[in-house]
A and B are shown apart, each in its own frame.
Chain A
Amino acid sequence: MISLSTGAFYGRATRQIGSLRSRADELQQQIGSGERLSRSSDDPVAAARMRMLTRGQRLADVDQRNSDLAQNDLKLTDNALGSIANVIIRAKELAIQAASATLGADQQASIGIEIASLQQSLLFTANSRDGAGHALFGGETSGAAYEMSGGVVSYLGTAGTEPVPLGEGQSVTPSLTGPEVFNFEVGGVPTDLFAVLGTLAAALQGAGDPVAASRDAMTALDTGLEKVTAAQTVVGARLSWIELMDQRREATGELVAAEQADIGGADLATTMTRLQEVMTVLEASQASFVRLSQLSLFSMLR
């Protein structure tokens, strides 16, 4: 004989309806938060992966910020290189004028004064600062990159610049050091733009043969311009490298976001359908429970 005691009937009904209710509650919570995982133990593997993805995203955010700063510095470097090239071109024009023997000493002296002021403006550009206030062409020095004392301009910066990491093990050097821009060799003798301009200015102002000095300077300025143009190319290449890494980071970010949604997000359509299913079963059990609990022999006894 299958007998069902009243206690067992109520106990089982309570258990069934209770478990359905808690299941519905869980689904409702998923819909409300949009997250499938409310605590790690809901799905330990997915939660661990989510943590790794979140960390990657956080570090990629910093990479993006560092990359923006490096891009900014390189753009400043590019601008500075542009004005340096202008200075060289203007100096070369003046040197061509001065090389002509038809000019008088006064005219040559005035050209010499302009060359000297060009040297000053070159020094000014060479000492320009980056976004953080450091010398743009000074490597890792905390002070100025160049200093003029007694008419001689000397480099105070360091020999190299620390590269900025862009993520995924890649990095970029955000600026150039002074020697990388200003120093070159003429006929096997190392010199720099400041020395070339200084010598020319001094020669034109009566310290030597102005015509010969102008001709020497023209050759040297050509080499110097080449050096600056080469530096501009390097900066352009680094800028495009940063852009490439930016695009890559963006693409990776999209993939990561998609994976996060896959792993941790609650799919609304599926969750809603399952909630509806649970609700239907719950309503049916509640209705049948009420009907069954009314079936008491006592209600028949009169």
Chain B
Amino acid sequence: MASDLLSIAASGARAARSALDVTAQNIANASSEGYVRRSVRMEEVSSAGGLLRSNDISLSGVRISGIHRNADMFRQAELRRTNSDVTRAEAELRGLQNVESAIEQAGVYPAIVEFEAALQQLTSNPTDSSLRAAAMASADTLARKFNIAAGSLDAVGEGLRFEADAAVGEANIIGSELARVNLRLARAGDGSSDQASLLDQRDALLERLSGIVDISTSFAVDGGVMVSAGGQTFVTGGASGVLSMATLTDGTLAFEINGASITPAGGSLAGSALALTETANTRARLDTLADGIAATVNTVQANGSAIDGTAGQPLFAGTGASGMRLAITSGDALATAPAGAPAGSLDGSNLAALRQALDASGAASGMNNLLFDVSSQVAGRTVTYEALDAIAASARISLEQQAGVDLDTEAANLMRFQQAFQASGRAMQVASDIFNTLMGIGR
């Protein structure tokens, strides 16, 4: 069999057209999320020489053997891993920042200082009714600030649980999408453009899933993926599992896949869970602090007598930061005088004892320490987050460098394949000229 110049040139023109199409597709998707640059793989078509025709020229042009997707599995896996880390750090940092704002902006610390200052002011004249009223007002403010701080912390926990719940829902949707992509990948032809776009979808879904929970993946020959999270299989073939979330009594979270419990180590779920643990800790410390102040004040009150000479009654009632409230409202009930003092006594020794007890029990320093601990955690997590963010960003850029579209390269390809197309056209022209020459011989 001999060669046919016209069909060789036609196949070259066809191949160049396809390559131009792919180049145009690359340019059009230069900024599409998750798009991996395609390139055309071309193969020469020629037949081996047969019997008695060993030196025959037998060329049949070129054909497109497949569309190549320039994805690097390692860089993609690295992107997923760093993405899990950075979303965890981000969710945790955001939660902790909210915890910090909740207890700092509630102004519990200034309220404690104001209460101390009001008591100290009262020592100058323990029977003055306006100073007593001011001390009671500052005690009321203190209790309310504790209520506000507790309420804000609860709201932070609510928000974190809501976010985690939404993330769990999204993870389940992604899981079923991945199962569907797995099924379609099993039917797609190798090297087809359909397969390439399915693989793009698969990788984009995996990246989104890695932002919610840390996953490990293994890939089948047809491109299908098996996903497991926390040691439990989540997606395998066309089947996806169910991720579920439960809220424990202290407000922290527990996760399960198909009923088996898992502990996410990365992704926004892990970050939310860590932040909720910290919220519960802070809440417990705030309660301890509020109870400590109430107990200190009430004990000293019981040791003294009010302005009318009766025994001192508890100043604070309720338990915990959210339940703290004033048990008495009149400033006259402040037990400034020692027990057994007559009505209207100027003796302020029990007031001095109250101030010393507040100072010694560490009301202000306890709150200061709580604020310090939370804020230094935020500061530490900020450093962690910034480092992880830089790592994740460089992983993304390194993947984009390899898999993304470079417009300059595409411009060069555009020219190259245009020239190839023109050259093939010229070859067809030559074939036509040869034919005409042959036809003109007899004339």
Please indicate whether A and B come from the same complex rather than being unrelated chains. yes
Q: Which chain A residues have a beta carbon within 8 Å of chain B's beta carbons?
A: 3-8, 10-12, 15, 39-45, 47-48, 51-52, 54-55, 58-59, 61-63, 65-66, 69-70, 132, 134, 139-142, 158, 162, 164-165, 296-298, 300-301
Q: Which residues of B contact A54 (CB under 8 A)?
A: 110, 113
Q: Which residues of B contact A51 (CB under 8 A)?
A: 109, 368, 371
A162 and B371 in contact, given A5-B400, A7-B405 (Cβ under 8 angstroms): no
CA distance A299 to B206 in the complex (A): 37
B179 within 8 A of A: no
User: What 7 pairs across the A-B complex have the smallest Cβ distances?
Assistant: A5-B404, A40-B375, A41-B378, A297-B411, A44-B376, A140-B346, A142-B344
A5 and B346 in contact, given A11-B396, A15-B393, A62-B120 (Cβ under 8 angstroms): no
> When the two chains form their complex, are residues B375 and A142 in contact, meaning their CB atoms are under 8 A apart?
no
Instruction: Indicate the size class of the contact surface on chain B.
Output: 35 or more
> When the two chains form their complex, are residues A58 and B372 in contact, meaning their CB atoms are under 8 A apart?
no
Q: Which residues of B contact A62 (CB under 8 A)?
A: 117, 120-121
The residue in chain A whose Cβ has the minimal distance to the Cβ of B378 is A41
> When the two chains form their complex, are residues B397 and A11 in contact, meaning their CB atoms are under 8 A apart?
yes
> When the two chains form their complex, are residues A142 and B346 in contact, meaning their CB atoms are under 8 A apart?
yes
Mask of B103-123 contacts with A, CB within 8 angstroms, 1/0: 010000110011011001101
Q: Which residues of A contact B345 (CB under 8 A)?
A: 140, 142
> When the two chains form their complex, are residues B403 and A5 in contact, meaning their CB atoms are under 8 A apart?
yes
A140 and B347 in contact, given A5-B404, A66-B124 (Cβ under 8 angstroms): yes
> When the two chains form their complex, are residues B409 and A3 in contact, meaning their CB atoms are under 8 A apart?
yes
Q: Which residues of A contact B406 (CB under 8 A)?
A: 3-6
Q: Which residues of B contact A140 (CB under 8 A)?
A: 345-347
A-B contact pairs, 15 of them (CB 8 A): A3-B401, A5-B406, A8-B397, A10-B31, A11-B397, A11-B400, A40-B372, A47-B375, A48-B368, A55-B109, A55-B116, A142-B344, A158-B347, A164-B123, A301-B414
Q: Which residues of B contact A132 (CB under 8 A)?
A: 124-125, 128
> When the two chains form their complex, are residues A40 and B346 in contact, meaning their CB atoms are under 8 A apart?
no
Give the Cβ gap from A147 to chain B, nearest Cβ, in Å: 17
> When the two chains form their complex, are residues B368 and A41 in contact, meaning their CB atoms are under 8 A apart?
no
B30 within 8 A of A: yes
A55 and B405 in contact, given A42-B379, A141-B346 (Cβ under 8 angstroms): no
B415 within 8 A of A: yes
Interface class of chain B by DSSP: helix
A39 and B101 in contact, given A6-B31, A65-B121 (Cβ under 8 angstroms): yes
CA distance A52 to B124 in the complex (A): 24
The residue in chain B whose Cβ has the minimal distance to the Cβ of A47 is B375
> When the two chains form their complex, are residues B397 and A59 in contact, meaning their CB atoms are under 8 A apart?
no
A59 and B411 in contact, given A5-B403, A5-B404, A8-B397 (Cβ under 8 angstroms): no
CA distance A40 to B107 in the complex (A): 13
Q: Which residues of B contact A12 (CB under 8 A)?
A: 397
Give the Cβ gap from A134 to chain B, nearest Cβ, in Å: 6
Q: Which residues of A contact B412 (CB under 8 A)?
A: 297
CA distance A10 to B378 in the complex (A): 31
Identify the interface centre among B31, B97, B369, B407: most chain A CB within 10 Å of its CB: B407
A47 and B346 in contact, given A55-B364, A66-B120, A297-B407 (Cβ under 8 angstroms): no
The residue in chain B whose Cβ has the minimal distance to the Cβ of A296 is B407
CA distance A52 to B101 in the complex (A): 19
> When the two chains form their complex, are residues A297 and B408 in contact, meaning their CB atoms are under 8 A apart?
yes
Q: Which residues of A contact B100 (CB under 8 A)?
A: 39-41
A52 and B348 in contact, given A8-B397, A297-B407, A298-B407 (Cβ under 8 angstroms): no
Q: Which residues of B contact A296 (CB under 8 A)?
A: 407-408, 411
| Further pairs besides A3-B402, A8-B400, A40-B374: 18, Cβ < 8 Å | A6-B30, A44-B378, A45-B376, A47-B371, A48-B368, A48-B371, A58-B114, A65-B124, A70-B124, A132-B124, A140-B347, A162-B126, A162-B346, A162-B352, A296-B408, A297-B408, A298-B411, A301-B414
